[in-house]
Amino acid sequence: MTRGGEVESVHRGSVAVVSENGHLLAAAGDPLQPVFLRSAAKPFQLTPFLAAGGERSFRLTTEEIALSAASHGGEPFHTRTAASLLSKGGFTAADLHCGAHAPMREETARALAFRHEKPNPLHNNCSGKHAAMLLACRHFRFDPKTYFRPDHPLQKKILSVVARMTGVPEDEIPIGVDGCSVPVHHVPLYNLALAFARLEGGRAPSETAAEFAARRRIVEAMTRAPAMVAGTGRFTTNLMREFGGDLLAKEGAEGVYAVGVPHRLARALPVAGAIGIALKIEDGAERGRDAVTVEVMRQLGLATGARLGNLRRLARRPVRNVRGDVVGGMKPVFSLDLFAAAGGAGGRSWRRP
Amino acid sequence: MTRGGEVESVHRGSVAVVSENGHLLAAAGDPLQPVFLRSAAKPFQLTPFLAAGGERSFRLTTEEIALSAASHGGEPFHTRTAASLLSKGGFTAADLHCGAHAPMREETARALAFRHEKPNPLHNNCSGKHAAMLLACRHFRFDPKTYFRPDHPLQKKILSVVARMTGVPEDEIPIGVDGCSVPVHHVPLYNLALAFARLEGGRAPSETAAEFAARRRIVEAMTRAPAMVAGTGRFTTNLMREFGGDLLAKEGAEGVYAVGVPHRLARALPVAGAIGIALKIEDGAERGRDAVTVEVMRQLGLATGARLGNLRRLARRPVRNVRGDVVGGMKPVFSLDLFAAAGGAGGRSWRRP
C-alpha cells in the first residue's frame, strides 16, 4: 500500500496452486500455512444435502443452490431467495442461527437504516447456507434446532466431505466457530487449493457418485448465477462473469480466496486436469485480496490481454482521502515459484506431518 | 488472532522506544521502518500556531487546544468545540477542507443516520486540527483557502517543527496526502518515538523558547482533556485517564501509535529524561494496535499490577461471531530487545542513511 509514492503498509500472505491430482504447481509464501476455510467451505457444506437428493425433494432452483453456497450482499434478490428456501422446509428467518448483521452491500444497508429497519438474519451473508442446512435437517430428519453444533449429524456429514475433498483426515482437522456460528475447518492452504481443483475436476478419490453429481451441480449453479454467490459490484461475481461461467471463485473472511479452474482454461499449464488456487492474506485484510488473486492468475497465464485489463479494473482499489482524491495505491510485489507438474514437491503425501 | 485455539491471522509490526536524548532503549521488528506519521503528527502540526501566540489571540480553552490535536469521535461535544474554534476566526464548517465522514463514534453515527442527517466536515475526526489551521492562517495573515497545500507557508512552518522534533532534515522527509487532505510526513519509526520523547522532555535541540512553551501547553491540554483527543470508549482517552494525565498517547491511521512518557513515569528505565514509544502494525490494521501498546508498556515496566489489568481490559477485543459469542482472541507474541541506554545502538546518528 503506497501513499504519495512511499510504502505505507504491507500485506503478506501465501498462495498455493494445486492440480486435481495433488501436484503443487506454484506457490508463494508458505503453501502449507494452515487456514480456516471460512466461506470458502460453502460448496462443501452444501454437498451432503444435494448428494442425498435435496434438490429434487425441495425443487431447488439454480439461484437457490447458488445462494446456498454464497456470501451474499443482503440485497433484496438475495433475501427473497433465502426466504423462499426457508419456506420450502416450513422454516422462517427465526429458525436461522446465523445472527443478523447489516447487509454487506452498502446501498442496501443504507436503505435499511433510512427506513429505520433493523437487519434480520436473512441479511446475514450466510443466510442461504443456513437455510440449506435447515432444509438438510428436514431432508435427513435431523434436529433443525441444533444444526450449528459440531456434534450434529449434518455437521459430521459436512466434515466428511471437507476431509475427503481437502485430503486431510477428519481427525486432523481442527474445528473453530465461524462468524455465522457453524463449525469451520482449519486445513493447510495446499489442501484448500486441492479441494477447489477437485471441485472443477473429475470424480475425486473416495467421492461417491452422488457426491460427484452434487458438487458438479453446485459448481454449475454458482457459475451460472454468480450474482447470487456475492452480489452487485462484488469482485467474486464480476470475476465469474468475466470468465462467462467457466471459472469458480469464492471468498472467505480473514483474507481467504479460492478459485477452481477447469481443465479447458488451464491448458497452458503443464498439468492434466483442473487446478485450484488458494490464497490467504496473513493478516486477514480484504483490501489486497482481489488484486493478489488477479496477479496470481496473470502469473499463471490464466488472465491475459483485454481480460487481464478488465480483471485489474475489478480488483483496483486506490487509496483515497475523505474527499475522494486518489492519494495512494496498491501493488502486488510477489513472484510465484512455479514447479513442474511432475516434480517431487507435489502429490498428496506433501502435507505437514 | 486465534479462532477455536488455532491461529487464524497474524499481524506483524515494529516498535521503537527512544529516550529524549536519542538513545534507542528497546525495539522489535525494524525500528528504522519509515512510517507516515498520520494523526500522530497532530501535536507538531499545532505547534507553530501556538508558538506564535495563537492561544492568547483567540482565547483558546484547554478543550479547544486538545481538540486541535485530536482524532475525535465526532460526538456532540467534539463538533460543538470545533464549531467554537471556527467561529473565533470568523470561519464556518464550509471553510474546512478535511471532507466529511461518518462520526468515528458509532452511536453518534447511528443517531445521525436515524435523523436522516448527513455527516458534515465538523464530524471529521480531524476537524479540530483543520479549524486550528484556519485560525493559524488568520493569525499569520496567510491565505486560509489553500492551507492544505504542501507549499502553503503554514505547512512549511509545520514541516520545520516536524523536522526538528523528529530529528530528520526537512529535505529528507517525503510528503504524502493524509486522509484529511493535508501534508503527512514519512519518517523512520525511531524518529517518531524520538519526537514523542521530546514532547514530554526538556527543551529540544533547535527548539525555540516559544515552541517549547507551546508544545508543553499542547501536552498539558491533551492530557488534561483526554476526551477531546479521542472520545467515549476510545483506547487513547482511557489510556490517558488511567495514567491520570501523566502520559501522552496518540493514535494514527494505518496502525500507528505513539506514547510520550515523562521522566517521572520512566524512572525504572536506565535512562535520563523522558521516553517516547512508537509502533506501527505493518499491515495498517487497527485491531491489534492497542493490545500491542499495552504489551510494550508491560515489557518496559511502565504498566504493572492493577493498572496492567485495567489497560488489558481497555485493549481487549475478543473475536466474536455475529451473535456476539466469543469464538477467538488475540495475543501479543513479541519480545522487545532491550538495550542499555549508553549502548552503541542508540543516539541521534542512528538513522537509516
B233-271: per-residue pLDDT in tens?
A: 999 999 999 999 999 999 999 999 999 999 999 887 888
Q: What is the mean pLDDT of residues B209-221?
A: 98
CB contact at 8 A, B68 and B139? no
Helix axes B235-242, B305-315, angle to 10 degrees: 170
Q: What is the mean pLDDT of residues A76-82?
A: 98
The verdict on B326 touching A (C-beta cutoff 8 Å) is: no
State whether A11 and B283 contact (CB < 8 Å): yes
B75-126: per-residue pLDDT in tens?
A: 999 999 999 999 999 999 999 999 999 999 999 999 999 999 999 999 999 9
State whether A176 and B6 contact (CB < 8 Å): yes
The SS3 of residue A17 is strand
Chain centroid to CA B63: 16
Query: Which grid cell is A19?
Result: 492440480
pLDDT more than 90, % of chain A: 93
CB contact at 8 A, A190 and A351? yes
For the residues of A218-254, what is the DSSP string, one character each? HHHHHHH-HHHHS-TT-HHHHHHHHTTTSSEEEEETT
Instruction: Select the residue from A30, A283, A286, A330 to test the B interface by mutation, using most B Cβ atoms within 10 A.
Output: A283
Candidates A153, A185, A149; CA nearest to A169 is A185
Residue B255 has its nearest CB partner, among A9, A179, A325, at A9
pLDDT score of B347: 38
- For residue B108, the tally of other CB atoms under 10 A from its CB is 21
Give the span between the Cα atoms of B228 and B74, in whole angstroms. 10
Give the span between the Cα atoms of B260 and B199, in whole angstroms. 7
pLDDT band at B352 (very low <50, low <70, confident <90, very high): very low
Residue with cell 477428519: A170
Residues 15-34 of A with CB under 8 A from B: 34
State whether B325 and A181 contact (CB < 8 Å): yes
List b or e across B146-176, with b for residues whose CB sees 16 or more CB atoms inside 10 angstroms. Answer: ebbeeebbbbebbbbbbbbbbbbeeeebebb
Compute the half-sphere exposure of residue B221: CA atoms within 13 Å on the CB side of its CA.
25
State whether A179 and B113 contact (CB < 8 Å): no
DSSP state of A100: -
pLDDT more than 70, % of chain A: 96
Residue A141 identity (one-letter amino acid) = R
The SS3 of residue B280 is strand
Give the span between the Cα atoms of B124 and B1, in whole angstroms. 30
- For residue A333, the tally of other CB atoms under 10 A from its CB is 9
pLDDT score of A296: 97
* Residue B353 clears pLDDT 60, i.e. is over it: no
State whether A6 and B34 contact (CB < 8 Å): yes
* Residue B316 clears pLDDT 80, i.e. is over it: yes
State whether B100 and A322 contact (CB < 8 Å): yes
Residues of A within 8 A of B36 (CB-CB) are 3, 6, 8
A140-156: per-residue pLDDT in tens?
A: 999 999 999 999 999 99
The neighbouring-strand residues paired with B198 are none
State whether A283 and B321 contact (CB < 8 Å): no
> What end-to-end distance do the CA atoms of chain A give, in Å?
36
Residues of A within 8 A of B186 (CB-CB) are 4, 6
Query: Which grid cell is B305?
Result: 499490577
Give the span between the Cα atoms of B127 and B217, in whole angstroms. 20
pLDDT more than 70, % of chain B: 96
Give the span between the Cα atoms of A151 and B210, in whole angstroms. 70
Stretch among A56-65, A331-340, B338-347 having the lowest mean pLDDT: B338-347
Query: Which grid cell is A168?
Result: 486431510
pLDDT score of A349: 32
Residue with cell 477467538: B328
Q: What is the mean pLDDT of residues A239-268?
A: 95
Nearest CA in chain B to A186: B6
A151-198: per-residue pLDDT in tens?
A: 999 999 999 999 999 999 999 999 999 999 999 999 999 999 999 999
- Rg of chain B over all Cα atoms, to the nearest angstrom: 20
Q: What is the mean pLDDT of residues A44-54?
A: 98
Question: How many contacts (CB atoms, under 8 Å) link A and B?
Answer: 139
pLDDT score of A344: 41
Instruction: Select the residue from A2, A118, A177 to test the B interface by mutation, using most B Cβ atoms within 10 A.
Output: A177
Q: What is the mean pLDDT of residues B150-169?
A: 98
Count how many residues are written for chain A: 353
Give the span between the Cα atoms of B57 and B203, in whole angstroms. 24
State whether A98 and B322 contact (CB < 8 Å): yes
For the residues of A150-172, what is the DSSP string, one character each? TTSHHHHHHHHHHHHHHT--GGG
Please give the model's pTM, rounded to 2 decimal places: 0.94
Residue A283 has its nearest CB partner, among B4, B97, B285, at B285
pLDDT score of B341: 53
CB contact at 8 A, B54 and B136? yes
Residues 176-235 of A with CB under 8 A from B: 176-181, 184, 186
Query: Which grid cell is B63?
Result: 478543550
Instruction: Select the residue from B12, B177, B178 to test the A interface by mutation, using most A Cβ atoms within 10 A.
Output: B177
* Residue A345 clears pLDDT 60, i.e. is over it: no
CB contact at 8 A, A96 and A131? yes
Q: What is the mean pLDDT of residues A257-269?
A: 92
The distance of B1 to chain A (nearest Cα, Å) reads 9
Q: What is the mean pLDDT of residues A39-49?
A: 98
For the residues of B238-278, what is the DSSP string, one character each? HHHHHTTTSSEEEEETTTEEEEEE-TTT-TTSS-SS-EEEE
Give the span between the Cα atoms of B158 and B195, in whole angstroms. 14
Residues of B within 8 A of A180 (CB-CB) are 321-322
Residue B299 identity (one-letter amino acid) = Q
